Amino acid sequence: MPEISVILPTFNRKTELERALHSVFAQRGPSFEVLVVDDGSTEPVASWLPQAFASVRLIRQENAGPAAARNRGAAAAQGRWIAFLDSDDEWLPGKIAAQIDFFHQHPQLRIAQTEEIWIRHGRRVNPMNKHRKEGGLLFERSLDLCLISPSAVMIRRDLFEETGGFDESYPACEDYELWLRITAREAVGLIETPYVTRYGGHADQRSREFPAMDRFRIRAMLKLLRSGGLKEEQRAALIKILASKTRIFLLGAQKRGRHQEAGRLAEMLEALDQQRIPEETLVAGCLAEATG
């Protein structure tokens, strides 16, 4: 049985997928299997992949998005550990060996990521301080924006299954939603050496497809709030960020001319400031407007 299951979801990215797969098969050390989940590509992935990478397990599904593709791969995985790699990214040599060594040194951890190199429009860029990675208990920091990269993470399969995997109803920010659920209960390890190259700025990035991405983050926080089980300090931090992001969404609604929606949001936010209604009532109302 392989120690690690490497899962690559892809959609119409032949050139990028070949680059990603070469970076996987350059890895040495732990045993691994590779599962490519073709998310309904219109390109003939099956016509070239078995010849170019004979050991890859190819899974094809109707187009359903990255959350469904990753879940499909995880359901077929045989390894104790799962490592995801987006088809437009690549690993640097030694990535999976470094993570397995890290877990041997920190057996209490069930999830860890590495540092990464960012490439935008063909040039290396330095992440802003707000994107700085940390190890440990990350829940509060993870509320504002996604601090865990799917391509950099390795997670125990039992933890992935316990938390239910990616929520397939999210067309974007599905990773943010899962990491919130995990960081609310688990510490995250960090290897400070960069072992991933992330490429951005290309036309088919998911973030370009969906404007106002905060609506999905708002929805994710409400889901977690309603699920219960948060510690009091976690709940307080979540509500604070939730109110902030709802205000941002309000400004966006005003700029886009959605005046009726903006007016209702403004009334509810004013009520929050003056503590006239319970927080849960306000949050539910704001999110109904923001995501409806």
Question: Would you give per-residue pLDDT tens digits along the chain (292 residues)?
Answer: 999 999 999 999 999 999 999 999 999 999 999 999 999 999 879 999 999 999 999 999 999 999 999 999 999 999 999 999 999 999 999 999 999 999 999 999 999 999 999 999 889 999 888 888 999 999 999 999 899 999 999 999 999 999 999 999 999 999 999 999 999 999 999 999 999 999 986 555 555 555 567 878 888 988 898 788 899 999 999 988 987 887 777 666 666 665 565 566 666 666 655 555 555 565 556 555 554 5
Q: Is the torsion defined by CA of 34, 37, 174, 144 positive or negative? A: positive
Beta bridge partners of 7: 35, 84
E strands, the chain, are 4-10, 32-39, 57-61, 81-84, 90-91, 111-120, 123-125, 153-156, 189-200
What pTM does this model have?
Answer: 0.86
Residues 63 and 190 in one domain: yes
Residues 251 and 203 in one domain: no
Q: Domain of 275?
A: 214-291
Q: Which of 176, 208, 240 is a domain's end point?
A: 208
Residues 34 and 144 in one domain: yes
CATH of the domain at 38: 3.90.550.10
Residues 220 and 187 in one domain: no
Residues 52 and 76 in one domain: yes
Residues 112 and 221 in one domain: no
Residues 35 and 50 in one domain: yes
Side chain identity at residue 5, one-letter code: S
Residues 75 and 202 in one domain: yes
Residues 19 and 160 in one domain: yes
Residues 74 and 198 in one domain: yes
Residues 22 and 88 in one domain: yes
Residues 122 and 232 in one domain: no
Q: Which of 174, 192, 208 is a domain's end point?
A: 208
Domain count for the chain, please give it. Answer: 2
Q: Which of 185, 208, 231 is a domain's end point?
A: 208
3-state secondary structure of 281: helix
Q: Is the torsion defined by CA of 171, 204, 210, 145 positive or negative? A: positive
